[in-house]
Amino acid sequence: MSEIASTAPSGLIQAPARAPAGYWSGVFKRLKRDRLTLICAGILLVMLIMILAAPLIAPHSPYQGSMIRRLKPIGFPGYPLGTDELGRDMVTRLIYGGRLSWLLGITPVVMAFVIGGLLGIIAGFAGGWLGMLIMRVTDVFYAFPSVLLAVAISGALGAGIFNAILSLTLVFIPPIIRVAETVTTSVRVLDYVESARASGASVFTIVRVHVLPNVLGPIFVYATNLISVAMILASGLSFLGLGTKPPEAEWGLMLNTLRTAIYNQPLVAMLPGLCIFVTSICFNLVSDGLRGAMDVRS
């Protein structure tokens, strides 16, 4: 995290006033040469289209099952990926499960990006007692591992999608605050910020024109890296019974319900975990590609 905060904005803050267009064109050129990032982004795009078009492409109902067809193997006629413990089609359940898994992975990060980014920028630009207060409260959350903190908050609030999103948001706000505060502190002491302050520009104008364009990039890149962590934590909460409730389809919950079938149909039981793994890896690689493309020194 400190590496992102310390290196990512340095290439941005060195650019002259007319450089943003050339800078972003350079970012896109570097991304076009990064085949691994493009492949991972393509996989994520295909998955997104599938989960959004689930009612149109899903071959069966995600809730209707049959005890006669329970735990059918991969390749069974009419069920290419088999069926689960209640005879429900795995293809349909995986597609619909991606909806909740993506929702639980992206929504907390977006909320934490907005709240944590705002608090971090305030702490970094204002400094003084206000910045000290924000950062000391943030340090309190660092006393607990993220997994245990998410489990504790979800356990206190109770199971449910809303409570899981809220607990994950609270977990991700502190690290984003730390990144935002670090990059804002490094930007506010630069010459052009001091010049704008000396010319009589208001604090709002300085933050909007000179600070935000240089700090949002590193914060955004770091936030995209948290999406994979959020999906894993959300799946873990559902696996423990603290997230999504049956009969909803969600990859972590599907792992929990299929754990008893690991000896009968191991390939079918591992499919939700494979979806979590592929999605998390793709988000991580896309985040790394964005970080490399936005670092002009690379």
Residue 232 domain flag: yes
CATH number at residue 130: 1.10.3720.10
Residue 98's alpha-carbon distances to 3, 72, 142, 191, 250, in angstroms, are 32, 21, 30, 47, 7
**pLDDT tens-place values along the chain, 298 residues long:** 434 443 344 444 344 344 455 667 877 888 888 899 999 999 999 999 999 999 999 999 999 988 899 999 999 999 999 999 999 999 999 999 999 999 999 999 999 999 999 999 999 988 889 889 999 999 888 888 888 889 999 988 888 899 999 999 999 999 999 999 999 998 888 888 888 878 887 878 888 888 888 888 889 889 988 999 999 999 999 998 898 888 899 999 999 999 888 888 999 999 999 999 999 999 999 988 888 887 655 5
Query: Residue 21 belongs to what H/E stretch?
Result: helix 20-33
The 10 Å Cβ neighbour count of residue 288 is 17
Helices (H), 53-144: 54-57, 90-126, 128-141
Residue 256's alpha-carbon distances to 126, 217, 244, 292, in angstroms, are 47, 37, 11, 37
Residue 60 domain flag: no
* Count: domains in the chain: 1
pTM recorded for the entire structure: 0.85
Residue 99 domain flag: no
What domain range is 261 assigned to? 105-298
